[in-house]
Structure 1
Amino acid sequence: MATRLFEGKAHASYYQKFRFSPPQEIQDLIFSYMGERLTKPYGFAVDVGCGTGQSTRILVPYFEKILGTDISPAQIDEAEKADDFPNLTYSACPAEELPVDDASVDLVTACAAVHWFDTEKFLKEVDRILKPRGCLAFFTYVPDMEVHYKDRSEQLTKVFSKVQDALDPYVNDKVYHVKTGYKDIFDAIPYTDKKRVEKITVKMPMTVAEVLGLMQTFSMYQSFLKAEPEKAKELVVATEQRFLEILEVSTTEAKVELWMNNVCLLASKPE
Structure 2
Amino acid sequence: MFTTEKCYQDDYSSGDVVQRYNSATLDGIVQMITQLICEHGELEGKDLECLLDVACGDGEKTRLLSRHFKRAIGLDASAEQIAQAVRRTNSAHVEFRCSTAEKLPLADHRVDVITSIFGLHYFDVKAFIPECRRVLKEDGIAIFYAHRPSKIIASDNDALPVIDADVAAMNEKLCNRARELSHPGVNLSDLHWSQFQEIDYKHKERIETTMIVETTLGGWGNHFLSIPGNKRLCINPTDNPVTELLQSVKRKWLKEDVDSNTIKIKMVNRAAIIKLRK
TM-based fold match above 0.5: yes
Distance 2:212 2:16 in 1: 24
Shift of 1:259: 0.6
Q: How many corresponding residue pairs?
A: 261
Instruction: Name the counterpart of 1:31.
Output: 38
Normalising by the residue count of structure 1, what TM-score does the alignment of the two structures yield?
A: 0.82
Could you tell me which of 125, 129, 132 is aligned with 2:138? 132
Instruction: Name the counterpart of 2:150.
Output: 145
SS of the equivalent of 1:152 reads coil
Distance 2:7 2:66 in 1: 27
Could you tell me which of 55, 58, 61 is aligned with 1:52? 58
Could you tell me which of 203, 207, 210 is aligned with 2:212? 203
**Contact 1:244-1:250 at 8 Å conserved across structures:** no
Distance 1:51 1:10, change over 3 A: closer
Distance 1:111 1:138 in 2: 6
Point out where structure 2 has 5 or more consecutive residues left out of the alignment: none
**Contact 1:170-1:221 at 8 Å conserved across structures:** no
Could you tell me which of 71, 80, 98 is aligned with 2:86? 80
Could you tell me which of 71, 74, 91 is aligned with 2:77? 71
Could you tell me which of 247, 263, 267 is aligned with 1:258? 267
**Contact 1:7-1:73 at 8 Å conserved across structures:** no
**What amino acid is the match of 1:194?**
K
**What amino acid is the match of 1:215?**
F
Distance 1:158 1:94 in 2: 39
**Contact 1:68-1:91 at 8 Å conserved across structures:** yes
Instruction: Name the counterpart of 1:14.
Output: 17
Instruction: Name the counterpart of 1:212.
Output: 221
Deviations 1:120-160 (A, max 9, x none): 1101111121111111111211x4611110552433x4333
Instruction: Name the counterpart of 1:182.
Output: 192
SS of the equivalent of 2:65 reads coil
SS of the equivalent of 1:137 reads strand
Could you tell me which of 167, 170, 178 is aligned with 1:163? 170
Aligned CA RMSD, in angstroms, stands at 2.8
Shift of 1:202: 1.2
Point out where structure 1 has 5 or more consecutive residues left out of the alignment: none
SS of the equivalent of 1:102 reads coil
Shift of 1:194: 3.0
**Contact 2:116-2:145 at 8 Å conserved across structures:** yes
Deviations 1:58-105 (A, max 9, x none): 312101111111112233233334332332122221111222122111
Normalising by the residue count of structure 2, what TM-score does the alignment of the two structures yield?
A: 0.80
Distance 1:80 1:241 in 2: 40
Shift of 1:114: 0.8
**What amino acid is the match of 2:185?**
K
Distance 2:78 2:52 in 1: 16
